[in-house]
């Protein structure tokens, strides 16, 4: 026997239920009925304001790129970035030596002095944690005059000792040479020790100019360079007479240990234990 089911309230009198959302007599659904959403209006992503902002950013980027390329297209700029990030001309190693009755840390620098040598050198000094009285060991044919002067200033500001030589695989000092702009780095030492067998070489300093650069006065540039070196070596305690040795010849002149001491370029002999 099939039970009799009472139809829901609001149904048609004959008991037939109407379709969903609509009563049997065609009346509209109640006000709280949630009708399915209609088609949504498409949002405009690129309005006038957005397009204008994009064009402004592109313009700023183009101007910045143009100035950056103009700066980096200069040979000096490329030389700086190459020397700093890609292939530094200098290399370094650290060690400890026993001298004058105590242990001293050593930062050994080797190679040509490149366009970014000062920045590279400061980073190596910080990594090595050298303190006043520790040693910067130099082995270099020279290079950039301006960088050599600044490296010497950094050495003097930190109260470091300079010496010419290299560190071997066992951490012992071996004789080497320091020439041209390297001599100015060496002169920055608060103490400048003469290591037996090592050599210091000086020669005339020249200004790098293009042969067709008529805007530069070679004589004036040479005079400025000479004055700058004179002021630097005098302040570092080196005899100004060293300029005579530098200007004597374009060829390298190797100073004897006695000459280096007489010129006060070296202040004392290395005294190993």
Nearest one of 178, 158, 152, 160 to 235, comparing CA atoms = 152
Q: Which of 17-31, 141-155, 156-170, 251-265 has the lowest mean pLDDT?
A: 17-31
User: How far is the C-alpha of 24 from the C-alpha of 101, rounded, in Å?
Assistant: 112
pLDDT exceeds cutoff 80 at 246: yes
Indicate the length of the chain as a whole number: 273
pTM exceeds 0.85 for this model: no
Which tens digit of pLDDT belongs to each residue from 165-174? 999 988 899 9
Write the CATH number for 107: 3.90.226.10
Q: Domain of 194? A: 82-202+252-269
How many domains does the chain fold into? 1
Is there a domain that residue 133 lies in?
A: yes
Is there a domain that residue 102 lies in?
A: yes
Is there a domain that residue 63 lies in?
A: no
Is there a domain that residue 159 lies in?
A: yes
User: How far is the C-alpha of 261 from the C-alpha of 272, rounded, in Å?
Assistant: 18
Tell me, what DSSP letter sits at residue 113? B
Is there a domain that residue 162 lies in?
A: yes
Is there a domain that residue 9 lies in?
A: no
Is there a domain that residue 144 lies in?
A: yes
Which tens digit of pLDDT belongs to each residue from 204-224? 886 654 444 555 667 777 788
User: How far is the C-alpha of 24 from the C-alpha of 37, rounded, in Å?
Assistant: 24
Is there a domain that residue 51 lies in?
A: no
């Amino acid at each position: 026997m099939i039970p009799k089911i009472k139809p829901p309230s609001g149904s048609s009198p004959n008991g037939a239920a109407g379709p969903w959302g609509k009563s049997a007599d065609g009346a509209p659904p109640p006000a709280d009925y949630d009708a399915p959403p209609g088609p949504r209006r498409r949002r405009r992503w690129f309005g006038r304001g957005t397009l204008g902002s994009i064009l402004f950013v592109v313009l700023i980027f183009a101007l910045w790129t143009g100035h950056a390329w103009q700066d980096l297209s200069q040979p000096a700029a490329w030389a700086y970035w190459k020397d700093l990030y890609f292939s530094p001309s200098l290399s370094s190693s650290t060690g400890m030596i026993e001298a004058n009755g105590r242990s001293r840390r050593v930062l050994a620098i080797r190679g040509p002095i490149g366009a970014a040598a000062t920045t590279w050198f400061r980073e190596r000094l910080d990594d090595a944690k050298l303190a006043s009285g520790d040693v910067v060991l130099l082995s270099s044919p020279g290079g950039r005059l301006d960088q050599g002067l600044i490296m010497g200033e950094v050495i003097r500001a930190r109260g470091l000792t300079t010496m010419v030589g290299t560190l071997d695989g066992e951490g012992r000092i071996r004789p080497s040479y320091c020439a041209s702009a390297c001599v100015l780095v060496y002169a920055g030492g608060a103490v400048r020790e003469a290591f037996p067998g090592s050599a210091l070489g000086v020669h005339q300093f020249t200004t790098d100019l293009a042969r067709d650069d008529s805007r530069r006065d070679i004589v004036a540039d040479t005079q400025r360079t000479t004055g700058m070196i004179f002021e630097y070596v005098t302040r570092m305690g080196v005899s100004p007479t060293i300029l005579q040795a530098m200007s004597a010849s374009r060829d390298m002149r190797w100073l004897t240990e006695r000459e280096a001491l007489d010129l006060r370029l070296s202040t004392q002999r290395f005294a190993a234990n």
